[in-house]
Amino acid sequence: MSTSNLKNWPIFSFLDSDFISNIHMVFVYGDLGNEALIVTKDKMVYALGNNTSGCLGIGDTNSTLYPRKVEELCNQNVTMFTHGIGPYVLALTEEGKVYSWGCNARNQLGNSSTDPCLRPTCVTKNISCKFIVSIACGSRHSLVLSSDGNVFAWGENTYGQVGNGDTTNVTVCTPKMVNNVLSSKRVVCISCCHLSSVAVTDKGEVYSWGQNNVGQLGNGNTINGYVPSKVAGLAGVEIEKVVCGCLHVLALSNKGVLYVWGENCFGQLGIGNNISICSPKKLIVKDWANVLDIAASHCSHMSAAMVEGSEIYVWGECLGQRITVPTLTNLRYLHDAFARYALDNIMPQPLVYDGYQEDVNVIDCFREAFDDNTTSDLVIEVQEQCIYVHKAVLIIRCEYFRKNLIANNQSVIKEEEFLYDAYRAFLKYLYTDEIDLDQDHMAELLKIAIAYSENELRKRCILNIQESVTVKRALLVYNIAIEYNEPELEEYCFKYALNHMSAVVLTESFTKLNEHMMKSFIIKVAQAGAFRT
């Protein structure tokens, strides 16, 4: 799951800020992103939109611009949604139950009927004693994955996409376990193309079945598969995740390498041309580091990926254009790619939305920019560790850097006087105005503040240190105050020690005072009259 900004999805434009602030998860689906489901933080489920075939699950076929409750799903702890054309919808709960509703012309609801269903009904009651952990839909068929690694399927089976080996029945009306070779495997990931299915095992093996007219099964030919078969072209590669477009597949390895196959009429494979391929091909992009995540939808011919550095790339059918190579965007989240560039504006998976902001906060932007090697123009090495910063920020925030960096063309500076943790906290303070450091290193930060003439930081360090004074730390802090010539802190610690004298002299800090310090402390205590009888 991911995060994003709801402003990118037009269907939510009628929601008020109070309602949005209570949203936990949303899912946009339908033919053109005309329907949406919402789960709020109090576990209520709402729907809004066009309501074709009763796909909102609200009990009728009336469209609505404003959220209406989906009564059957409220307080059911819904964790995931997926959908097929019609539309029809599946919902998964924390308790491992699956509900279905909407269009049902090809048995895609799995309830033994072909009648549309206007309210969510539990479909997994037909799978006894199975706890479902994942769901996926093609255009008119459905897959679910149980906690023990078994795959169940139902719906249209014209091309074998249900995987039961039956070439005579064009639909399967209730969930059936996908046996054959998968019965001895533990599946951990499932996904669906338009009319085909893909699964990944715990060993990183990929199996596919169903329609194969453009090589979307990745098995080197264009013959439909009525039972799962292993994608041999990935031998020796451990795949962690697969996602399916309409007629193409993306597979991400455990080493951050992306493999592609299937239809390529729109450039959705990202290989620089429009030629479809029947076997997996490693996607090599010059500027990419490791691929972190991938996304596609069985409703579109677009692909998206997040690479190291949180950069988002898109390719394929983007805004009606054919983009044949991965193209860097200015987006921050994978979901935003489908809101901005996909023709249908449908989410590839639900969007978890746990923080509403009208506008981006400037401090948050600076917080993200700090120690970010993708945007920094200066590296400061401290104790052989790198901190990535921006000269402009340091020059604006600190007089010391203003004097030393303006005419300095260095890209790397070595700092040898201070400790890494404290120096990193100092630099982060310049970005965020926050002190993010434990008490054990606070004295070192005070030392840096004094050395760099950062008076406001010095005051905050003293206040922070002062608040940490206890019986055990009183003389330790007293020593620090004298070392850094901070008379106010010294006086505070002395008075604290004087008021807790019997306990303080029994602490380890007292015994560790050097001879001169102990002598001056005792004299000062005597002058304060602590030894009078």
Lowest mean pLDDT among 163-172, 242-251, 473-482: 473-482
Coil vs helix vs strand at 223: coil
Residue 127 confidence (pLDDT): 80
State residue 38's pLDDT score. Answer: 97
348 or 179, which is more confident: 348
Q: Which two tokens stand for residue 242?
A: 């697969």
Residue 241 counted as domain residue: no
> Strand pairing of 117-122 and 98-102?
antiparallel
Indicate whether 508 belongs to any domain.
no
Tell me whether residue 528 is in a domain: no
Look at residues 293, 338, 18 and name the one whose alpha carbon lies nearest to residue 329. Answer: 338
For the ranges 61-65, 109-113, 360-364, 468-472, which has the lowest average pLDDT?
A: 360-364
At 468-496, the pLDDT tens digits run 888 887 887 887 888 888 888 888 888 88
Task: Tell me if 61 is assigned to some domain.
Answer: no
Q: How many domains does the chain have?
A: 1
Q: Residue 437: pLDDT above 50? A: yes
Domain presence at residue 325: yes
pLDDT at 190 over 60: yes
Residue 1's pLDDT is: 37
Question: How much is the pLDDT for 218?
Answer: 98
Q: What is the pLDDT of residue 355?
A: 52
258 within a domain of the structure (yes/no): yes
Residue 358 has what pLDDT? 44
Residue 292's pLDDT band (cuts 50, 70, 90): very high
Q: Output 402-407 pairs: Cβ under 8 A, ≥24 positions apart.
A: 405/378
Cβ-proximal residues to 364 (8 Å cutoff; 6+ apart), any chain: none
Instruction: Please say whether the dihedral angle defined by the alpha carbons of residues 483, 485, 489 and 492, taken in this order, is positive or negative.
Output: positive
Asked if residue 353 has pLDDT above 60, the reply is yes
Mean pLDDT over 163-187 rounds to: 91
Question: Could you give the strand order of the β-sheet that contains 239-244, starting from the edge strand earlier in sequence?
Answer: 239-244, 248-253, 258-262, 277-282
The reported pLDDT for the residue numbered 360 is 53
At residue 167, the pLDDT reads 82
* Per-residue model confidence (pLDDT) at position 531: 65
Asked if residue 353 lies in contact with residue 23, where contact means CB atoms within 8 angstroms, the answer is: yes
Q: Kindly state whether residue 483 falls inside one of the protein's structural domains.
A: no
Alpha carbon distance 116, 114 (integer Å) = 7
For residues 382-398, average pLDDT: 94
Mean pLDDT of 333-341: 92
In the beta sheet, which residues pair with residue 46? 38, 69
Share of the chain above pLDDT 90, in %: 68
Task: Tell me which residue range forms the domain holding 322.
Answer: 247-355
Tokens at residue 124, please? 């997994």
pTM: 0.68
How would you classify residue 340: left for phi > 0, otherwise alpha for psi between -120 and 50, otherwise beta? alpha
Higher pLDDT, 442 or 268: 268
pLDDT at 277: 98
Contact (CB, 8 A) for 242 and 251: yes
Q: With a cut of 60, say whether residue 3 has pLDDT above it.
A: no
pLDDT (mean) for 323-329: 95
Residue 4 has pLDDT above 80, yes or no: no
pLDDT at 533 over 60: no
pLDDT, position 401: 93
Q: Mean pLDDT across the stretch 382-409?
A: 91
For residue 361, pLDDT beyond 80: no
Q: How many CA atoms does the CB half-sphere of 72 hold within 13 Å?
A: 18
Dist. CA 181–CA 176, nearest whole Å: 15
* φ/ψ of residue 387, rounded to 5: -125, 125
| Per-residue pLDDT band at 504 (split at 50, 70, 90) | confident
Q: What is the pLDDT of residues 59-107, one digit of tens each?
A: 999 999 999 999 999 999 999 999 999 999 999 999 999 999 999 999 9
Is 286 part of a structural domain of the chain?
yes
More confident residue, 20 or 262: 262
What's the pLDDT score for residue 357? 45
Which of the four pLDDT bands, split at 50, 70 and 90, describes residue 363? Answer: confident
Helix 474-483 / helix 515-527 crossing angle, nearest 10 deg: 100
Mean pLDDT within 218-224? 97
- Kindly state the tokens that stand for 97: 């139950």
